[in-house]
Structure 1
Amino acid sequence: MSEKAAQTKQAPETLDRVQRFVNTRNRMRGYDHLESSKEARRWLEESGYSPVDSVGDTELARLRELREGLRDILLSHNLGTSLEVTKASSRLNDLVSTTGLGVSFDSAGRPLLCSPFTGTEKAVEDMLIAAIRAGYEGTWQRLKACANKECQWIFYDASKNRSGSWCVMEICGSRVKMRSYRERHSGTPRDAS
């Protein structure tokens, strides 16, 4: 995805944190900022989760589980509910049950979800808090994974009717539509992408 396209489909504040987190894996360009403990630590620190002394195997697996569970759910915002969403919801519910999320009150007396942790666990809980907040604000369904199964880049659908399917129509939309056209005209069974 180009920088310009990324900026035009950027989620609003708070939800952009989830967007950036899930996009730590880029299928089209072949990189993963959570591929190793060292890369995960660097990404967390660059994202303001410090001090992060180390990211162990357990923390790395937890971050990846959260990321891919969120991706499955965000894909459903585009393609509808599926068995993967049910599985992802179950995995995420298990993950949520092990957090230390709490409630506090701000100076105006409003209740807020909060994380008592730092580092990796704070990052996990911040993603969950952002998702909950977006659900109440009505923006959660607008955060979607690209319908191109080879991409699945997370984008924010700001269209009036919430009908966006592609991170970039000119790239992913065109590729999928061209692939579909070729398959229809070649007699090859159509792949659901």
Structure 2
Amino acid sequence: MSEAPASAQLIEAFANTVDVELGTDELATPGALSAWLADRSLLDRERRIGAEDHALCLRLRTGIREELGVNVGDTADAALLAGADEALRELPVLITVRGACRDGGVLSPAADLTPVRKALAGLAIAWSELVVTGEAVRLKRCAEHACAWVFWDVSKNRSRRWCSMRVCGNRAKARRHSAKQAAVAADRQP
């Protein structure tokens, strides 16, 4: 089982701040977002987040979750993706030469961003790293719509669909079996 890189772990945690099954949102308020970013060393603990930056963050998260939930044959909600792209434009990231060969860090938040926007740009950098390396395809949203948990696909052929085969995969298979049985029973009716 291969461990997800740090950028994938951050984006996975960010996307999973929404729990569809429980109907909860860890980032429901600016204060909650501030605490979440501080817990990940992206923002100083005493820093306050305004409504505009909070909304920007939620647009980014919604678009990332939408992109991660697109399965073969599905179409993503273009408005949600556009909202995330718009959020990313407000979080400019710079490519640097200095230290890139020694430190491996070539992306950094634009210097003129506020501390809160720099923290959010840290999420943009993590997403960019996954996209550029092609690893974003390994982050997926569970195909069980009642779950929608984001997970790191460790399967060899990158074909995993559910966060847990025992729970979500079983639910989907049980529904298919029941539908098949109902169809067979309906065909037997005169």
TM-score range, shorter chain: 0.7 to 0.9
Match of 1:99 in 2: 91
Identify which of 51, 64, 67 aligns with 2:61. 67
Identify which of 6, 17, 34 aligns with 2:27. 34
TM (norm. structure 1) is 0.81
- CA deviation after TM superposition for structure 1 residue 81, in Å: 4.4
Letter in 1 for 2:35: R
Structure 1 residues 57 and 166, CA gap change in structure 2 (3 angstroms): same
Structure 1 residues 66 and 9, CA gap change in structure 2 (3 angstroms): farther
Task: Return 5+ residue gaps in structure 2 as ranges.
Answer: 184-190
Contact between 1:9 and 1:157, CA under 8 Å: does it hold in 2? no
Q: Which moved more, 1:9-18 or 1:50-59?
A: 9-18
Structure 1 residues 153 and 119, CA gap change in structure 2 (3 angstroms): farther
Structure-2 separation of matches of 1:23 and 1:10:
17
Structure-1 separation of matches of 2:14 and 2:114:
16
Question: Which structure is larger by alpha-carbon Rg, 1 or 2?
Answer: 2
Structure-2 separation of matches of 1:61 and 1:80:
30
Structure-1 separation of matches of 2:61 and 2:161:
20
Q: Aligned ranges for residues 156-171 of structure 1 at < 5 Å?
A: 156-171=152-167
TM (norm. structure 2) is 0.82
> Between Structure 1 and Structure 2, how many residues are aligned?
178
- CA deviation after TM superposition for structure 1 residue 80, in Å: 4.4
Say what the alpha-carbon RMSD is for the aligned residues: 2.3
Contact between 1:11 and 1:19, CA under 8 Å: does it hold in 2? no
Task: Return 5+ residue gaps in structure 1 as ranges.
Answer: 1-7, 188-193
Kindly indicate whether structure 1 or structure 2 has the higher relative contact order, using CA contacts under 8 Å at least 6 residues apart: 1
Question: Does residue 1:20 correspond to 2:10, yes or no?
Answer: no
Q: Percent identity of the aligned residues? A: 28
